A and B are shown apart, each in its own frame.
Chain A
């Protein structure tokens, strides 16, 4: 492969309209398009070159629902067939009765005893239609109603950095601050600690990750940050599930 056709380096910040590669050697993927002989960027982000494929990892923007994502949503409304849930995106999601619980629900029963308006839930997107109608399910490990704790919002493109490789970042914060953390792919984070101080340090740490999300060696920085707050932060390689409750 002729490297000279490539106009950018791996992990460069690129802007819409920027030519990434010339000729037919490279294939456009997410965030790029082909025009004549060129592969051109169609969004702001980090360019990644994976073999012959060029894609862009977004650095900003609102959450777009994707199948299989574990999100933290807020119950917005209750209707005949289930619950309507806010997803921190342009689209509301539906959680139907049969996906919400295995209990037998009689006709006309009060649904608020399962989820009431304003409740936060950890839930999984099991289908997204072409019109971005979202179906949710509560059937899966760790999917539940959140009763206490605090909610914070982060930009959804930063979520992978907060979770870290194999959940390394979030488990380090969890151990250091003694908090329970759930990072929804939609950028809604639930934090529950034994006391408010722990929770505040967690909030601060997550804000710091959000601000410095594209700095390399981020885990090291966060480790130092936690230690400066008088917390013991140990970075270990874990092999947990990366999404959702990590």
Chain B
């Protein structure tokens, strides 16, 4: 059987509905809210600020420290065990690496920029949503960045290349599923995150990455709009 129509009725290269807001957490230096479909991410950026313990300080450049966390009630019914886990450690690490190519930390030696990503609700694509929220929050915090980062997952469901898988598609049982979360930096034309679950044919992978690139570009447009509207609103 071939996957002919998507479970939620979207086109194969259509993203889920996106909502983005900036400046949602007053205490933070910069913050953002990003929702794609049923996946919701908040990101708060604190810093640059003093870094302790002292042995972690780098006299050449500042440190970017990302922290990804799913809230206990964020899954689909099952309680997500709170606290750090192997999975959240990994995602924190890849988020960090996805954002590092754009942020310029050389101006802040010996200091740290903390990024906290919290997910109150998840439905697949949470690391991508987290990266998008973090990208906006970093910009909002006035951090020097070469570009914004757009992240989205592409994949193959039962032989069909699709964009932005939701949980039902990730868990599709009637055929093979490959899920490829991707973060894309347009001005460098580079992927800063590329992971995969499942198996994929070479030509499908190329197709999926092209699709993800377009999706990420669209997401970046949404991010730009959100960042600008924060100031447009109060301008009037």
Other A-B pairs, 9, CB within 8 Å; known A43-B145, A211-B234: A15-B148, A15-B228, A40-B187, A60-B29, A61-B143, A62-B47, A62-B48, A64-B107, A64-B108
How far is B116's CA from A38's CA once the two chains are assembled, in angstroms? 33
Partner of A40, one of B107, B142, B146: B146
Q: Tell me if A214 and B48 are in contact (CB < 8 A).
A: no
Could you tell me which B residues sit within 8 Å of A by CB distance? 29-30, 47-51, 59, 62, 102, 104, 107-112, 139-148, 186-187, 220, 223-224, 227-228, 231-232, 234-235
Q: Tell me if A16 and B147 are in contact (CB < 8 A).
A: yes
With A42-B145, A43-B144 in contact, do A13 and B110 touch (Cβ < 8 Å)?
no
Q: Tell me if B143 and A43 are in contact (CB < 8 A).
A: yes
Least distance between A169 CB and chain B CB atoms (Å): 18
List A contacts of B142 (CB < 8 A): 43-45, 58-62, 157
Q: Tell me if B29 and A33 are in contact (CB < 8 A).
A: no
Q: Tell me if A13 and B232 are in contact (CB < 8 A).
A: yes
Q: What are the interface flags for A201-216 relative to B under an 8 Å C-beta threshold, 1 for contact and 0 otherwise?
A: 0000000000110110
Interface majority SS on A: helix, strand, loop or mixed? Answer: loop
Least distance between A155 CB and chain B CB atoms (Å): 9
Q: Which residue of B lies closest to A16 (CB)?
A: B145
Q: Tell me if B186 and A17 are in contact (CB < 8 A).
A: yes
With A62-B29, A64-B107, A215-B234 in contact, do A90 and B48 touch (Cβ < 8 Å)?
yes
- Listed by A's residue number, 9 A-B pairs whose Cβ atoms lie within 8 Å are A15-B228, A16-B146, A18-B224, A40-B146, A61-B30, A90-B49, A90-B110, A132-B109, A132-B110
The 4 closest A-B pairs by CB, nearest first: A61-B142, A17-B147, A90-B111, A16-B145
How far is B111's CA from A132's CA once the two chains are assembled, in angstroms? 10
Q: Which residue of B lies closest to A131 (CB)?
A: B109
Q: Tell me if A62 and B146 are in contact (CB < 8 A).
A: no
With A61-B29, A61-B141, A131-B109 in contact, do A13 and B231 touch (Cβ < 8 Å)?
yes
List B contacts of A130 (CB < 8 A): 109
Q: Which residue of A lies closest to B187 (CB)?
A: A17
List B contacts of A92 (CB < 8 A): 50
Q: Tell me if A33 and B146 are in contact (CB < 8 A).
A: yes
List B contacts of A107 (CB < 8 A): none
Please tell me if A113 contacts chain B, counting CB pairs below 8 Å. no
How far is B139's CA from A90's CA once the two chains are assembled, in angstroms? 18
How far is B29's CA from A89's CA once the two chains are assembled, in angstroms? 12
Please tell me if A160 contacts chain B, counting CB pairs below 8 Å. no
Q: Tell me if A131 and B29 are in contact (CB < 8 A).
A: no
List B contacts of A59 (CB < 8 A): 142, 231
Q: Tell me if B144 and A132 are in contact (CB < 8 A).
A: no
Q: What are the interface flags for A123-161 relative to B under an 8 Å C-beta threshold, 1 for contact and 0 otherwise?
A: 000000011100000000000000000000000010000
With A61-B141, A90-B50 in contact, do A44 and B146 touch (Cβ < 8 Å)?
no
